[in-house]
Structure 1
Amino acid sequence: MPDDRGMTFDEEPLSGGNVSAGVVRVGDTVRRPAGPWTPAVHALLDHLHSVGFHAAPRALGLDERGREVLSYCPGVPTWPERFDLMEPRSALTRVGHIIRDFHDAVAGFTPPPGARWRVLYPQAGDEIIAHHDLAPWNLIAGTDSWAFIDWDTAAPGTRLWDLAYAVVSFVPLSAEPALRRGDPVERMRALVEGYGLEDEDDRRRLIGLTAERARAMHDLLAEQAARGNAPWERLWREGHGRIWRANADHILDNRQRWEDGLLG
């Protein structure tokens, strides 16, 4: 099919993540199914680029089939095959920097009148428009730059709620021993220091929010699976709900030790 410059490219299905049905690459663009939230998300992406935050795709409107068009971010997803990219402390610090840059950039964003967001998680506040899925499966690591993709779940939230999920997923705070990487306190410290979270009360609250965030993922899967909604119904059947519940329990079991380490 032709791109916006009239050049013809084949559609290349893109995989990765848990919600990739209908996502294709066309030349240097990505086409995805649009939804009622798409205009608000595109306004958000336009704002981010206008203030100099480039670790996100650019919004390029809709194509002739009503799909949203985004700029293609070259690189590889860092989960699962490339999670070794997150092994150095410097990589987690870099992730923390990117998230802080995003949160600072979005602080000046005013949603368009009547903005509709895809609200899937509890709204822990409306401090910012949060990404809500800052995770290695949504981080594209390129040679020259890294970028977060899949902004369709952007919605009102708080900085700490957004950061808590990044801590859960990038450290990761997993109940599965095979998924753990090194000392969780040292990895948390690298990410949090990259973010610049210095306040002790905020660090203490962050640890508590990681357990709440993991539990929220379990509850989302349970609710959507009960309604028969894809792709969550499939993920529930594959055991992701059990995994997230176990992660929440694992965090609670270790909360005091990790909190002491992060504060110490």
Structure 2
Amino acid sequence: MPLPDVETQLLGGTANRGLVVRVGDTVRRPLRPSSMATHALLEHLERVGFEGAPRLLGIDVQGREVLSYLPGETVTSPYPDWSMTDKALDSVAHLLREYHEAVADFRPVGLTWAEPVPSAYVTGLISHNDPNLDNVVFRDGVAVALIDFDLAGPGSPLWDVATAVRLWAPLRPDADIHDVRRGRSLTRLRRFADAYGLTDTDRLRLVDAAADNHIWCMAYVRHGAESGHPWFHQRWTTGEAELTNRTNEWFTRTADALRQALLH
């Protein structure tokens, strides 16, 4: 008689915390109203040969989506030293560029996506919208795959770069950076834009896009908290609201310095 499948809870995330498990070489995740759209996206990425995303394998008997498990490491606190290096930062930028190239000709019709991004940053490309530290898989210190496409939807390369660099630089007050990145936000901002190969036009808009992305992301967290989601509520009420205000003020205060750091 075969042994029952062993489910191992996977760490990271907020919206689905405690609900994502590994079973053998697969990952099981809850379905969402936008699942049909994200499944179409994953199927497109498989068709074009993009290796940096999980494969959709179906729906299990419990009604969960089944994805291929991507071996490697994600970055969760306390952050390992290798994850804070320039090598790791560059590789995230390269991976994001490769994803955008792979998804450039994906033209979905009639699909329902998750949180819409501000219209100023919608160009027709389906962006990931959440390349957070724990949504990137690394091997040997190099980013090789994106996971958790729950927030994917119509956006732009600029919006994804703004999301990524805001989190990976990171773009926030130095007093709120508690690792080796403290004091290097401007340097890492410039490095990420260079590694990605951001256009001159998008460089001029990147600082505003990052500030707008912070407002968008924190509104999503606040809404989750107000809707009674336990993990969003915990996050919002244990310092996130105060950090949000400090970061918004920081963006206003340092906008010129951030723009100067991006100049060639």
Using the size of structure 1 for normalisation, the TM-score is 0.89
Q: Report the Cα offset of residue 57 of structure 1.
A: 0.9
Q: Report the Cα offset of residue 63 of structure 1.
A: 0.6
| Whole-angstrom CA distance in 1 between matches of 2:199 and 2:251 | 21
Q: Measured at CA, do residues 177 and 134 of structure 1 come closer, stay the same or move farther in structure 2, by a change above 3 Å?
A: closer
| Whole-angstrom CA distance in 2 between matches of 1:211 and 1:170 | 14
SS in 2 for 1:238: helix
Q: Which segments of structure 1 move beyond 6 Å, counting only runs of 4 or more?
A: none
Kept in 2, the 8 Å contact 1:217–1:244? The answer is no
SS in 1 for 2:53: coil
| Whole-angstrom CA distance in 2 between matches of 1:81 and 1:239 | 18
Kept in 1, the 8 Å contact 2:123–2:154? The answer is yes
The alignment-based identity, stated in percent, is 37
Kept in 2, the 8 Å contact 1:127–1:156? The answer is yes
Aligned partner of 1:250 in structure 2 is: 250
| Whole-angstrom CA distance in 2 between matches of 1:242 and 1:148 | 29
How many residue pairs were aligned? 257
- For structure 1, the 5+ residue unaligned runs are none
Q: Report the Cα offset of residue 82 of structure 1.
A: 3.3
- For structure 2, the 5+ residue unaligned runs are none
Aligned partner of 1:190 in structure 2 is: 191
| Whole-angstrom CA distance in 2 between matches of 1:133 and 1:248 | 19
Aligned partner of 1:218 in structure 2 is: 218
User: Higher mean Cα deviation, 247-256 or 151-160?
Assistant: 247-256
SS in 2 for 1:211: helix
Q: Report the Cα offset of residue 114 of structure 1.
A: 2.5
Kept in 1, the 8 Å contact 2:225–2:232? The answer is yes
Aligned partner of 2:154 in structure 1 is: 156
Using the size of structure 2 for normalisation, the TM-score is 0.89
Q: Report the Cα offset of residue 126 of structure 1.
A: 4.1
Q: Measured at CA, do residues 231 and 222 of structure 1 come closer, stay the same or move farther in structure 2, by a change above 3 Å?
A: same
Paired amino acid for 1:55: G
Q: Report the Cα offset of residue 138 of structure 1.
A: 0.9
Q: Give 1:1-264 correspondences, 5 Å limit.
A: 8-19=4-15, 20-111=17-108, 113-119=109-115, 121-123=117-119, 124-143=121-140, 146-175=144-173, 176-179=176-179, 180-199=181-200, 201-264=201-264
Kept in 1, the 8 Å contact 2:34–2:114? The answer is yes
User: Higher mean Cα deviation, 141-150 or 253-262?
Assistant: 141-150
Kept in 1, the 8 Å contact 2:28–2:66? The answer is yes
Q: Provide the aligned C-alpha RMSD in A.
A: 2.1
